[in-house]
Amino acid sequence: MVIKKYYKPLRRNSIMDAVIVKKSKIHGRGAFANRDFKKGEVVIKYTLKSLTEEEFKSLPKSEKHFTAKRSEGGYWLYSSPERYVNHSCEPNTSPLNRCDVAIKDIRNGEEITTDYRKDNVPSLNMVCKCGSKICRKVIKNN
């Protein structure tokens, strides 16, 4: 059985060129600012693939990590680079209208982070490795 790709490769446009994916100290790969961002600026625009319950169930376990439940049913599958935005208990972005928006100034080279509790991640229950002084140690959906 051939597993088809479920996400799109990095897109090349003015917003996405401002974000690169590379090795992260938090977890695996991460999304990093390739320029400075000001508070309130859109950092990443999501390209989401809508999945049915059946499509979600057929995803490899490694891909399920990159999903969120849709309010109208089914799931969203995150593409790159948004799929590589790691969790932090002191995030520098927040999701808004299918974007990650800077909630504080972000410097060139800084890892782009969000609070996973704000996304509707199925069965979210993970050990946090963000390294923040206010780290909650475990991240769960409320």
- Note the pLDDT of residue 8: 41
Q: CATH no. for residue 107?
A: 2.170.270.10
Q: Is residue 1 part of a domain?
A: no
Q: Is residue 11 part of a domain?
A: no
DSSP E strands in 53-140: the ranges are: 67-69, 75-78, 86-87, 93-95, 99-102, 113-114, 125-127, 138-140
Q: How many domains does the chain have?
A: 1
Helix (H) or strand (E) holding 25: none
User: What is the residue type of 55?
Assistant: E
Q: Is residue 10 part of a domain?
A: no
Q: What are the 10-residue block averages of pLDDT along the chain, 142 residues in total?
A: 40 66 95 97 94 94 87 90 94 93 97 86 82 91 68
Q: Is residue 117 part of a domain?
A: yes
* Domain, as residue range, for 49: 16-140
Q: Is residue 7 part of a domain?
A: no
